[in-house]
Amino acid sequence: MWCIFIIAHHFISSNSWIQVGHNWLNPSHEYIRVFAVLTAIFVFISILNPKKIIWFVLTLVFWSLLKIDNLPRVPNHIILALVVNFCILLGIYLNGTVEKSKEKRLGNLYNSISPILRWNLIILYFFTVFHKLNVDYFNPNVSCAVSLYHNISGRIALLPNGEFINWSLIIGSLVIEALIPVLLLIPRSRLVGVVLGLCFHLLLSFHSSFYITSFSLELYALYVLFIPHNVFISILQGIKKRRNLISNYTRLNRFPKNKIFYFTLILFVLSVVYLILVSFQYDIEYLIKIKVLFRFLWYVIASIIILIFLILLKRNNEVNKENIFRLKKNILLVFPLILIMNGVSPYFGIKTAANFSMFSNLKIVGTKNNSLIIPSNLDLVKNSSDVVEIIESNDEHLSMIKIKREYITFFEFQRWIQEQDKSDESKTLYKRNNELKTLNLPKDKNNPQYHSISWLEKKLLIYRNIPMDDPCPCQW
């Protein structure tokens, strides 16, 4: 299931990792594209050889390297994905299952890492709800609950529209997102929680943003960890019976069993596809048609999965009373701690994006925010309070910030300056600390006042632009 999520996200973000640059999910250098191709190769091999952990390890390693290169401009759920990857890799190392992949060792591996991965998902849900407890999320005029729903309802004609349902959307979204982890924590309601989560995130995936679909697929993969044993066994037995039935009436079992054949075939196909994409730089209209087909297949498959679980929910009355959150490897606790630190980071001014505050209307300005729970921040690094107002600019990016009536933090302003090519010429008039200044590029690119940002700061810190006017609009 995790491999399926990686394939889907890889496909959804394919137009990004093909084009080198500093934009959303773009590789920073040409050689990073190799990580993307190797990820695609090894993820397919991993699915063909599910008991050979080495292929799964290679998939996680190369995909993680690709996403680390993409940092910090990644969707929120990729932060969770990286933590899950590292957790699985460390678990594999501690269990010594890379070379030997017997079923007992695989079972030990699953039992050691699954409790931590479950806690990771619970922590994600906690912060997605916690960040939404702010003044502007409860404002129907700007609430993300309302704007997301209107986008989805525009694509599904059957959904009602109108101002009369706005408050129910705000309260309902909070209740559902809070209820899912609670149901997952309680043994008797765990399967109900899975079904509710499957339905809720299927509905969210109807949004026009493909990255929300990617998020839904990630959660579908992690829900596997909460399936009670008896339900899991029922599913696997059903798959085995149907697979045997297909084998009896087809010649699938006559395909070559030489794994080198599969490897060579996949390598050849992916290499051809990659060369076509690089050579022709995409036919955008054709790509859109492919993505529409992908979405249709996702809706069908997700609906079938939900139907299966509804049937299983009715048929299975047994409850798995085992404590599935009991930790087997305490060293893996470092990963939930990383997620907690990432979640609380905006209230310390450390970073104001990619901290699970997606679509929450959370606004951070120095020591102040719009939270109903934590009304004041500890602005430890001062980046969120050091802002720049763009007065005039002939640069497209900066002029758009002016048009949107936003401040850009000086940290992000410096990042933007460093990312400009030496050949790019632009002139910008801006105000910082009530002082008017002029930036001329490329002349001022190495000006000492725009000090260099370290590689680690670039990867770990990211700040949203700050709306000049209240209330705060819906942001990613």
Spatial CB neighbours of 160, under 8 Å, sequence gap ≥ 6:
153
CA angle 34, 36, 40 (to 5 degrees): 115
pLDDT at residue 188, as a whole number: 84
pLDDT of residue 251: 47
pLDDT at 2 over 90: yes
pLDDT above 60 for 99: no
Q: Tokens at residue 349, please?
A: 């001014």
For residue 309, the Cα-to-chain-centroid distance in whole angstroms is: 25
Which residue did the predictor score with more confidence, 420 or 391?
A: 391
Question: What percent of the chain has pLDDT above 70?
Answer: 86
Q: Which of 360, 333, 409 is nearest to 118 (CA)?
A: 333
Task: Tell me which of 145 and 296 has the higher pLDDT.
Answer: 145
Range with the poorest average pLDDT among 91-95, 156-160, 400-404, 469-473: 156-160
Decide which of 101 and 44 is more confident: 44
Q: Which of 364, 442, 455, 475 is nearest to 415 (CA)?
A: 455
CB 438 within 8 A of CB 428: yes
* Amino acid of residue 144: C
The length of the chain is: 476
Write down the domain spans for the chain. Answer: 2-334, 356-467
Q: How do residues 290-322 score in pLDDT, each as one tens digit?
A: 677 777 888 888 888 888 888 777 766 555 667
Query: How far is the C-alpha of 175 from the C-alpha of 137, rounded, in Å?
Result: 14
pLDDT of residue 110: 87
Peptide bond preceding 471: is omega within 30 degrees of 0, i.e. cis? yes
Residue 250 reports pLDDT greater than 60: no
Percent of the chain clearing pLDDT 90 (strictly above): 38
Q: Which residue has the tokens 């493909």?
A: 210
Question: pLDDT (tens digit, 9 = 90+) per residue, 163-210?
Answer: 778 999 999 999 999 999 999 999 888 888 999 999 999 999 988 888
Kindly report, residue by residue over 8-31, the tens digit of the pLDDT: 888 888 777 777 877 778 888 888
How would DSSP label each residue in 162-177?
SGGGHHHHHHHHHHHH
111, two tokens: 């039992």
The predicted pLDDT at position 235 comes to 73
Please determine, for residue 281, whether its predicted confidence score (pLDDT) is greater than 80: no
Q: What is the pLDDT of residue 389?
A: 94
What pLDDT band is residue 258 in, cutting at 50, 70 and 90?
low
Taking the C-alpha atoms of residue 420 and residue 439, their distance in angstroms, rounded to an integer, is: 13
Task: State the chain's mean pLDDT as an integer.
Answer: 84
**What residues are paired with 429 via a beta bridge?**
392, 438
Is a pLDDT exceeding 60 seen at residue 240?
Answer: yes
pLDDT at residue 403, rounded to an integer: 92
- How buried is 152 (Cβ within 10 angstroms: 0-12 exposed, 13-18 middle, 19+ buried)? middle
d(CA 393, CA 159): 43
Alpha-carbon distance values, 114 to 222, 332, 333 (Å): 9, 10, 12
